[in-house]
């Protein structure tokens, strides 16, 4: 049994509000083994994004981690100071966010941002070596003519391409774990499928572990091995993806399942039938 | 099939065209560097009374432009948009007033479709005033409208920021109903809501449609959602309607490649995972064979 | 459950709720409270001057001239034997009348111009209006004031049944010169608000353009306008003082902080420190007060603040 790559135990994150501290994450535990793709599913306010940010120690001030352990390869990230954490971020654990437009710095070319990232974690690398690596990762994420595109600015790319660039930035330093927080939510469904396929490919090629966060159960089920379902700061159910998807135990998971309109359920029906029931088919 | 006449055509787009100017400005105008974006490209669409027409399109397809043209927030450059036979672009005075009463719109972003500085009660009162309701009766009618959408009358004192996203959308719907319309254009009405709320709002819309006899033009990027609730589905891409028909037909036997791409891209949950696994195994064994 | 249900304030009427919110905000923010207190004191002095000033500010009494601060004359006397304290109190009238009324004029005109320009957004009308505004705003306020009063003269002007004293001329002039700033703010915010969904919703409902501009767009422009207006009051005080200092503002013997400073010019180095210090302090303190209040209002009215809420 290989050791877990990421083992989060009883994580608690709180935010000070006008009327006291509010716990956004209330004792959440999840784990990622090497090579696994784990999904965290929940709606807004479930605490899924905050949990992911907590792993990266990027919870927005004045929020704080108020309890639990975040064991990455045995080391508790929650106990690290900021300097040590910076060696982990980008190098061992990387993150991709929802909105690629605001996640990439619009004032710099993507080449500059890639090179900066590479050299931040490998200060000994020469400019040429960093540049070569930048081209390498751009090609890895499927951007053609990568060499030429190094001098392009983020706004010159479409949404889907920008997300690919973000993924390239994230894998540039060969992290072991990639956290993707709603990476496709802002994208069209056709582009979404491409990005998901890309993540799947990268898993295979690079042996990357992925922590995929989304509100879309169908999407998570497509690429993840195990799924955690979160609701108001707690994990209400977790297990193998097939179990969660086909045999949900918790009422919330069942509700999530039922609410998704799926193509398979559409039956030929006359207008009369539709107007009498007015129901959304399960 | 009975031999009754087809229901009356309410909304009709006839070869509608709308272009937007990008890079506008004095210098660009002079040097001819302005670009034109054709948001609606010869669009023809008919919505008859009682129908629920679902329009599916991704970003940039022109669906929002179509929605705005349908409620006359903008007029088309070429072609016609008619409501009950009247050309919207040339409607004036009384005809325009009738149109404004008959057709209402539900917007996507609940945060911005309600004026943040007006209480729910005030927003409803203003709409009822536009309906011509006497001042004395407005409070009572506001309560009725709120109840109709599943909210309590006490919410009239609230500001939009004090409501949840789902509540705001219900208020927006109530505001539409204040005008007692016969036609509702819903432009991505649930896109900004959680999935559990989505089904609630959809159910509400369908309930209201049945109880009040409304006709719906439902616009969304979600093909599956639209297929479930529509009597007819139209797929829009790059300013054109590329596919149209009953939902089953569009889903099972799409004729347009874009529709097929759309269908292929929809996440398929466990089935998608199994398919992916299978194709991965197949290509792995193909590689092995090639290597041998 | 929504936050509002936990707060009993939600049940109160709009005005009461808004006042209470401001009060709560003030208690948390000492700077704003200080500003508000200073402003209230200044306004109080201006309004109640006849009641609270210990001496007549105008009557000359040479026997008392140039007396340092004492129990009898708290802030000393000037070269005419007049009590400085009383003159400072009465001086508040001139300063605040000019600055407050000028802001009222500026806001009224500026808002109308800004809304007008925003309504015609994208057309040449808007361009002409905004560029004219820019042209006026390109010359500093003080230079405009001095130039125009210098040309028109400081005597009272009779137009029909109305008599415009120099103070009236000054406040009208300053008010006109405030319009560009306020028009710009209104125009900028209105332009953005007009693209919002709730404006579109009102259009779809059939609301008229005027109703939309004044009922929907304008209230959403109020926050930055109120803040700017408060800051402009502070500027107005300085402008009035400056113009009076050079003799083009409030005419003697009416007390004004600026003219008191002008009178004190001759005594700066001869040891009668109380002549310039107290009027100068009055100007500084009042300006600081309005600035603090303006900053505080900005924080309270900022819709992005998590606990701060909008006024109705």
Region C37-49: mean pLDDT is 91
Q: Which of B269, B271, B287 should we substitute to test contact with A (largest number of A Cβ atoms within 10 Å)?
A: B269
Average pLDDT rounded to a whole number, residues B186-206: 89
Interface of A with C in 6-25 (CB under 8 A): 17-19
| Per-residue pLDDT at A121 | 85
- By Cβ distance, the residue of A260, A261, A278 closest to B207 is A278
Closest CA to B124 of B187, B190, B172, B169: B172
Chain C partners of B75 at a C-beta cutoff of 8 Å? none
**The pLDDT of residue C157:** 78
Q: How far is Cα B87 from Cα B80, in angstroms, rounded to an integer?
A: 7
Q: How confident is the model at residue A268 (pLDDT cuts 50, 70, 90)?
A: low
Q: Decide if pLDDT at B93 tops 80.
A: yes
C41, with CB counted inside 10 A (0-12, 13-18, 19+), is: middle
- pLDDT of A267: 60
Interface partners of chain B (CB pairs < 8 Å, 3 or more) are A, C
pLDDT tens digits for range B30-81: 787 778 889 999 999 999 999 999 999 988 899 999 999 999 999 999 999 9
The CATH code of the domain at A1-92+177-282 is: 3.40.50.300
Q: Which domain holds residue C120?
A: 30-311
Q: Residue C269's domain is classified under what CATH number?
A: 1.10.3720.10
Q: Which residues in chain C are contacts of B158 at CB distance < 8 A?
A: 2, 4, 10
Q: What is the mean pLDDT of chain B?
A: 89
The pLDDT assigned to A269 comes to 44
**Is the minimum CB–CB distance between A256 and chain B shorter than 8 Å?**
yes
Q: Where are the alpha helices (DSSP H) in chain B?
A: 26-31, 63-70, 93-102, 110-113, 120-131, 135-148, 165-177, 195-212, 223-229, 247-252, 257-265, 269-291
In a domain, C20, yes or no: no
Of C4, C204, C309, the CB nearest to B104: C204
Residues of C within 8 A of A17 (CB-CB) are 306
Mean pLDDT of A27-47: 92
Asked if the structure places residue C1 within a domain, the reply is no
Q: What is the mean pLDDT of residues A44-48?
A: 89
Using a CB-CB cut-off of 8 Å, the residues of chain A touching B248 are 266-268
Smallest CA–CA distance from B195 into chain A, residue: A259
Å from B64 to nearest chain A CA?
Answer: 15
CB pair distance less than 8 Å for C307 and A19 = no
Whole-number percent of chain B with pLDDT over 90: 59
Does A103 have pLDDT greater than 90? Answer: no
ipTM of the complex: 0.87
| Residue of C2, C197, C202 to mutate, interface with B, max B Cβ within 10 Å | C197
pLDDT of residue A277: 44
Mean pLDDT (whole number) for B169-195: 92
Average pLDDT over residues B7-25: 88
Residue C48 domain flag? yes
> Is residue C19 over pLDDT 80?
no
Mean pLDDT of A186-197: 88
In 3D space, the residue among A202, A200, A234, A196 whose CA is nearest the CA of residue A214 turns out to be A196
In a domain, C25, yes or no: no
pLDDT at position C1? 44
CA-based nearest residue to A217, from A189, A198, A245, A197: A245
Alpha helices in chain C (DSSP H): 3-6, 14-28, 30-52, 84-119, 124-137, 141-152, 166-194, 197-205, 209-211, 218-245, 257-264, 274-301
User: What does the CA dihedral B97, B98, B102, B106 come to, rounded to 10 degrees?
Assistant: -10
The answer to whether residues B178 and B141 touch, using CB atoms and an 8 Å cutoff, is: yes
- Would the CB atoms of B263 and A221 count as touching at under 8 Å? no
Q: Does the pLDDT at position C7 exceed 60?
A: no
Q: For the ranges A60-64, B229-233, B287-291, which has the lowest average pLDDT?
A: B287-291
Residue A72 confidence (pLDDT): 92
Interface contact flag, B267 A219, Cβ < 8 Å = yes
Using CB atoms, which residue from B71, B97, B158 is nearest to C204?
B71
- HEC profile for A94-141? EEECCCHHHHCCCCCCHHHHHHHHHHHHCCCCCHHHHHHHHHHHHHHC
Say whether pLDDT at C4 is over 60: no
Confidence band, pLDDT 50/70/90 cuts, at residue A278 = very low
Can you give the pLDDT at residue A266? 67
Q: Is C118 within a domain?
A: yes
DSSP-derived pairing of the beta strands A6-17 and A64-72: antiparallel
The per-residue pLDDT for C10 is: 46
Give the A window 171-200 contacts with B, CB below 8 Å: 188-190, 192-193, 196, 200
Query: How close, in Å, is residue A127 to chain B by CA atoms?
Result: 37
DSSP type of residue C256: -
- With CB atoms and an 8 Å threshold, state whether C306 touches A19: no
- The residues in B 157-196 lying below 8 A from C, measured between CB atoms, are 157-159, 161-164, 172, 175, 179
Peptide bond before residue B44 is cis, with ω within 30 degrees of 0: no
Residue in C2, C203, C204 nearest the CB of B163: C2
Residue-level pLDDT at A228: 95
List of chain A residues whose C-beta atoms are within 8 Å of the C-beta of residue B270: 221, 241-242, 245-246
Average pLDDT, chain C: 83
Which residue, among B247, B267, B280, would best test binding to A if mutated, counting the most A CBs under 10 Å from its CB? B267
Determine the distance in angstroms separating the CA of A94 from the nearest CA of chain B, rounded to an integer: 24
**How much is the pLDDT for C27?**
65
* Alpha-helix runs per DSSP H in A141-216: 146-149, 159-171, 189-206
Q: Is B126 an interface residue toward C (CB < 8 Å)?
A: yes
% of chain C surpassing 90 pLDDT: 29
Tokens representing B244?
Answer: 């149209």
Is residue B30 within 8 Å of residue B95, measured between CB atoms? Answer: no
pLDDT tens digit sequence for B216-263 = 999 999 898 899 899 999 999 999 999 999 998 998 899 999 999 999
Whether residue C230 lies inside any domain: the answer is: yes
Q: Nearest CB to B73: which of C11, C203, C312?
A: C203
Q: Do C6 and A19 touch (CB under 8 A)?
A: yes
- Report CA torsion sign: B85, B89, B92, B94: positive
Contacts of A70 (CB under 8 A, 6+ apart): A6, A7, A8, A9, A11, A54, A55, A76, A77, A78
Contact with chain C for residue B209, Cβ under 8 A: no
Which residues of chain A are within 8 Å of residue C4 when distances are taken between CB atoms? none
Answer whether B129's CB lies under 8 Å from B184's CB: no
Q: Which of B14, B159, B190 is nearest to B86 (CA)?
A: B14
Is residue A236 classed as helix, strand or coil in its secondary structure?
strand
Where are chain A's structural domains? 1-92+177-282, 101-174
The answer to whether B233 contacts chain A (CB < 8 Å) is no
> What tens digit of pLDDT does each residue of C159-177 get?
877 878 888 888 888 999 9
pLDDT at C14: 65
Of B210, B223, B270, the CB nearest to A221: B270
Rounded mean pLDDT, C115-137: 91
What chain C residue is nearest to A18 in terms of C-alpha separation? C307
Average of pLDDT values for A28-33? 94
State pLDDT tens for residues C250-306.
887 888 888 888 888 888 788 888 888 998 999 999 999 998 888 887 777 655 443
d(CA C105, CA A131): 61
Nearest CA distance, B213 vs chain C (angstrom):
19
User: Comparing C19 with C39, which gets the higher pLDDT?
Assistant: C39
- What's the whole-model pTM score? 0.82
- A-chain residues near B247 (CB < 8 A): 266
- Across the interface, which of A222, A258, A278 has its CB nearest the CB of B267? A222
Q: How confident is the model at residue B4 (pLDDT cuts 50, 70, 90)?
A: low
Best residue in A15, A16, A19 for a mutation probing chain C (most C CBs within 10 Å): A19
């Amino acid at each position: 049994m290989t050791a877990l790559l990421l083992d989060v135990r009883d994580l608690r994150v709180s935010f000070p509000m006008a009327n006291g501290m509010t716990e956004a994450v209330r004792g959440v535990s999840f784990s990622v083994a090497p090579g696994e793709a784990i999904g965290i599913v929940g709606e807004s306010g479930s605490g899924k994004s905050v949990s992911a940010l907590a792993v990266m120690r990027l919870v927005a001030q004045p929020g704080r981690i108020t309890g639990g352990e975040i064991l990455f390869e045995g080391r508790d990230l929650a106990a690290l100071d900021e300097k040590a954490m910076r060696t982990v971020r980008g190098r061992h654990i990387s993150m991709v966010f929802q909105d690629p437009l605001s996640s990439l710095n619009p004032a710099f070319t993507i080449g500059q941002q890639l090179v900066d990232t590479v050299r931040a974690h490998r200060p000994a690398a020469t400019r040429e070596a960093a540049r070569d690596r930048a081209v390498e990762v751009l090609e890895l994420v499927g951007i053609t003519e990568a060499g030429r595109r190094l001098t392009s600015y983020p706004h010159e790319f479409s949404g889907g391409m920008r997300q690919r660039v973000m993924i390239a930035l994230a894998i540039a330093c060969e992290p072991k774990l990639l956290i993707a927080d709603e990476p496709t939510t802002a994208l069209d469904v056709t582009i979404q499928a491409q990005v998901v396929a890309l993540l799947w490919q990268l898993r295979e090629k690079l042996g990357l572990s992925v922590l995929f966060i989304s509100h879309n159960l169908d999407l998570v089920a497509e690429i993840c091995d195990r799924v955690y379902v979160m609701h108001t700061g707690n994990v209400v159910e977790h297990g193998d993806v097939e179990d969660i998807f086909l045999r949900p135990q918790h009422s919330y998971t069942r509700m999530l399942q039922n609410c998704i309109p799926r193509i398979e359920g559409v039956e030929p029906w006359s207008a009369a039938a539709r107007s009498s029931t007015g129901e959304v088919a399960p | 099939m009975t031999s009754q006449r087809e229901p009356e055509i309410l909304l009709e787009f006839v070869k509608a065209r709308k272009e937007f100017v990008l890079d506008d400005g004095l210098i660009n105008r002079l040097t001819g560097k302005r670009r034109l974006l054709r948001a609606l490209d010869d669009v023809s669409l008919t919505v008859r009374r009682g129908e629920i027409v679902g329009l599916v399109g991704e970003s940039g397809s022109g669906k929002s432009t179509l929605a705005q043209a349908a409620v006359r927030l903008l007029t088309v450059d070429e072609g016609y948009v008619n409501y009950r036979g009247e050309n919207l672009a040339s409607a004036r005075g009384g005809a325009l007033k009738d149109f404004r009463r008959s057709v209402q719109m539900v917007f996507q972003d609940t945060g911005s479709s309600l004026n943040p500085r007006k209480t729910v009660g005030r927003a409803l009162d203003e709409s009822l005033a536009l309906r011509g309701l006497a001042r004395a009766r407005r409070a009572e009618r506001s309560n009725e409208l709120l109840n109709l959408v599943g909210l309590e009358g006490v919410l009239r004192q609230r500001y939009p920021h004090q409501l949840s996203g789902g509540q705001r959308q219900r208020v927006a719907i109530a505001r539409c109903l204040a005008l007692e319309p016969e036609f509702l254009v819903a432009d991505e009405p649930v896109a900004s809501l959680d999935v559990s709320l989505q089904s609630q709002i959809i159910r509400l819309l369908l309930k209201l449609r049945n109880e009040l006899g409304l006709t719906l033009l439902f616009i969304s990027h979600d093909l599956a959602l639209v297929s479930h609730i529509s009597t007819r589905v139209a797929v829009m891409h790059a300013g054109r309607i590329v596919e149209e028909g009953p939902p089953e037909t569009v889903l099972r036997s799409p004729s347009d490649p874009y529709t097929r791409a759309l269908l292929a891209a929809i996440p398929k949950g466990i089935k998608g995972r199994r398919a992916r696994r299978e194709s991965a195994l197949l290509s792995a064994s193909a590689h092995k064979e090639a290597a041998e | 459950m929504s936050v509002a249900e936990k707060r009993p304030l939600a049940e109160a009427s709009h005005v009461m709720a808004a006042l209470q919110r401001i009060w709560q905000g003030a208690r948390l923010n000492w700077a704003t409270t200080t500003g508000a207190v200073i402003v209230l004191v200044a306004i109080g002095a201006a309004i109640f001057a006849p009641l609270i000033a210990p001496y007549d500010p105008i009557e000359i009494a040479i026997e008392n001239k140039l007396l340092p601060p004492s129990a009898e004359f708290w802030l000393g006397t000037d070269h005419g034997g007049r009590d400085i304290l009383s003159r400072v109190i009465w001086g508040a009238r001139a300063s605040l009348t000019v600055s407050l009324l000028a802001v009222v004029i500026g806001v009224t005109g500026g808002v109308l111009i800004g809304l007008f320009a925003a309504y015609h957004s994208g057309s040449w009308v808007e361009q002409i209006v905004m560029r004219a505004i820019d042209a006026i705003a390109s010359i500093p306020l003080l230079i405009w004031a001095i130039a125009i009063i210098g040309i028109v003269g400081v005597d009272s002007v009779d137009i029909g049944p109305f008599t415009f004293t120099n103070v009236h001329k000054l406040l009208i002039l300053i008010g006109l010169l405030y319009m560009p700033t306020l028009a710009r703010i209104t125009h900028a915010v209105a332009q953005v608000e007009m693209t919002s969904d709730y404006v579109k919703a009102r259009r779809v409902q059939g609301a008229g353009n005027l109703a939309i501009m004044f009922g929907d767009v304008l209230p959403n422009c109020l926050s930055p306008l109120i803040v700017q207006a408060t800051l402009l009051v502070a500027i107005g005080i300085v402008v009035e003082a400056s113009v009076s200092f050079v003799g083009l503002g409030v005419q003697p013997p009416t007390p004004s902080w600026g003219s008191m400073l002008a009178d004190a010019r001759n005594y700066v180095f001869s040891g009668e420190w109380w002549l310039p210090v107290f009027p100068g302090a009055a100007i500084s303190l009042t300006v600081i007060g309005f600035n603090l209040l303006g900053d505080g209002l900005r924080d309270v009215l900022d819709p992005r603040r998590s606990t701060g809420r909008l006024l109705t």
